[in-house]
C-alpha cells in the first residue's frame, strides 16, 4: 500500500509541475516592487530557491505566515504592504510598536487583535534567536503558532524539509486515495514517506513546490465542487 502512495504522490507532483510550472513561493514585497516586476509577478520567484537572502526577507515570511492565517493571501499581502509602508516590517520595531497601532495596520487580514499579539510575540522570539534557526518545537510553543504556520516558516524562511499541510492538501489527498484523513500529521507523513530517499536539498525544493502546486490545483480543479471531467489527474484519482 505504501508503494501505491509513493507512486501516486510522485506522479501527481510531476504532472502538476508540468501543467502549472514553478510557482515561486514565498512571494516577497521587494521583488514585486523591483525593475524585474514583469517577469517576477507579485513578488513570486519561480525556479529560484535562493530566497530569502537576508534577515529582512526571512522576517517578512515569518510575518506573512501569521497574517495569512484564516484569510486569503490577497488580504495578508495588503497587511504586509501596510506594515512596510509604516516601516514596521522590522523585528525591532514590530516588537515595540503599540498593539492598537499594529492592529490598525493589519485590520484587512482579519482577527487583527489576535494577530497583533501573535506578531509581537513572534518578533520578540525572532530577536531572541540572534540569527539562529528556530526549531519546530520552539515555534509550536508560541501561542497562536500551529503546525501549518510553523512548517511554513521552517520550509519557506529557513529551507528546512517540512511539508506544509492545509485544507487544500487534505481535500486532494482524501479524494485521490479515497481516504478520510483529518489529522495534520497523518497527511504530512504520506509525503515524508514518499520522499524519504531524497536528499535534504531535493526534499526542500520538492516540498516547496508541492505545497504551492496543491494550492493552485485546488483552486483550479479540486475545489469544493470539483471539476473532475476536465482534471488532468482524474486517472489517478478515486474521486475522479
Q: Which domains does the chain have, with CATH numbers?
A: 2-23+164-236 (1.10.1670.10), 50-157 (1.10.340.30)
Read off the pLDDT of each residue in 100-116 and give the average, rounded to a whole number: 94
pLDDT above 90 for 91: yes
Assign 33 a pLDDT band (cuts: 50, 70, 90): low
Range name among 30-34, 106-110, 147-151 with the lowest pLDDT average: 30-34
pLDDT tens for residues 175-213? 999 999 999 999 999 999 999 999 999 999 999 999 999
Q: What is the pLDDT of residue 30?
A: 85
* Residue 222 DSSP label: S
- pLDDT recorded at residue 114: 96
The answer to whether the beta carbons of residues 148 and 165 sit under 8 Å apart is yes
Q: What is the pLDDT of residue 48?
A: 95
CA distances from 89 to 60, 93, 217, 220 (A): 7, 7, 31, 32
Beta-carbon contacts of 1 under 8 Å, excluding residues fewer than 6 positions away, are: none
Helices (H) and strands (E) counted in the chain, each on its own, are 12, 0
Amino acid at each position: 500500500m505504501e508503494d501505491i502512495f509513493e507512486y501516486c504522490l510522485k506522479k501527481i507532483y510531476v504532472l502538476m509541475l508540468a501543467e502549472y510550472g514553478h510557482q515561486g513561493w514565498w512571494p516577497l514585497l521587494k521583488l514585486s516592487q523591483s525593475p524585474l516586476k514583469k517577469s517576477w509577478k507579485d513578488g513570486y520567484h519561480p525556479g529560484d530557491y535562493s530566497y530569502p537572502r537576508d534577515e529582512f526577507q526571512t522576517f517578512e515570511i515569518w510575518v506573512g505566515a501569521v497574517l495569512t492565517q484564516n484569510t486569503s493571501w490577497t488580504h495578508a499581502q495588503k497587511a504586509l504592504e501596510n506594515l512596510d509602508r509604516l516601516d514596521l516590517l522590522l523585528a525591532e520595531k514590530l516588537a515595540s510598536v503599540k498593539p492598537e497601532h499594529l492592529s490598525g495596520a493589519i485590520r484587512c487580514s482579519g482577527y487583527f487583535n489576535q494577530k497583533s499579539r501573535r506578531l509581537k510575540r513572534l518578533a520578540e522570539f525572532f530577536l531572541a534567536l540572534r540569527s539562529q534557526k528556530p526549531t519546530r518545537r520552539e515555534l509550536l510553543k508560541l501561542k497562536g503558532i500551529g503546525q501549518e504556520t510553523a512548517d511554513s516558516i521552517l520550509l519557506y524562511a529557513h529551507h528546512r524539509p517540512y511539508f506544509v499541510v492545509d485544507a487544500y492538501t487534505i481535500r486532494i489527498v482524501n479524494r485521490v486515495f479515497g481516504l478520510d484523513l483529518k489529522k495534520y500529521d497523518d497527511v504530512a507523513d504520506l509525503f515524508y514517506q514518499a520522499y524519504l530517499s531524497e536528499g535534504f536539498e531535493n526534499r526542500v525544493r520538492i516540498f516547496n513546490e508541492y505545497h504551492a502546486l496543491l494550492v493552485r490545483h485546488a483552486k483550479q480543479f479540486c475545489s469544493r465542487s470539483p471539476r473532475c471531467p476536465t482534471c488532468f489527474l482524474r486517472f489517478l484519482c478515486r474521486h475522479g
